[in-house]
Amino acid sequence: MAIAADFAHRLTPGSVVALEGDLGAGKTQFARGIVQGLGGDPRSVSSPTFVLMNIYDTPRGKVYHLDAYRISGAEDLEAIGFEEILDQNGFVLVEWWQKVSAIIPQKHWKVSLTTTSAHGRNIAIEPPK
């Protein structure tokens, strides 16, 4: 969480963060850290797997936390107004982004989480290109 909270200081309104990693790798935990780094309550963050999207208020703006794990493709995100979410100038976090890569803005942060042990993770952060 500390790495994610520190990383949050590099984000600007409108930032999109693509989170990737296997089940249990820590994508939602990383989202908690981002919310904390933006001044929000990390305890309010929960996995959006079953609800598709959670929204968190922070002093720096809204965080839109989406999970594409259970959807069939980009059309499902488009159906809930993904383009409008991007226009809100908040912070957009997308777990399992590869399933909807066709509609993820080209300029996005990419965070890859790899499990190295029961409590260890390798975290790679790539800035927008």
Q: What is the mean pLDDT of the chain?
A: 93
- CATH class of domain segment(s) 2-113: alpha beta
CA dist., res. 89 & res. 72, Å (int) = 26
Say what percent of the chain tops pLDDT 90: 79
- What residues does each domain of the chain span? 2-113
- pLDDT grade for 28, boundaries at 50, 70 and 90: very high
- pLDDT grade for 51, boundaries at 50, 70 and 90: confident
- How many of the other CB atoms lie within 10 Å of CB of 87? 10
Would you say 95 and 67 are in contact if contact means Cβ atoms under 8 Å apart? Answer: yes
pLDDT digits (tens, 9 = 90+) for 72-93: 878 888 888 899 999 999 999 9
> Mapping DSSP to helix (H, G, I), strand (E, B) and coil, where does residue 52 land?
coil
How much is the pTM?
A: 0.94
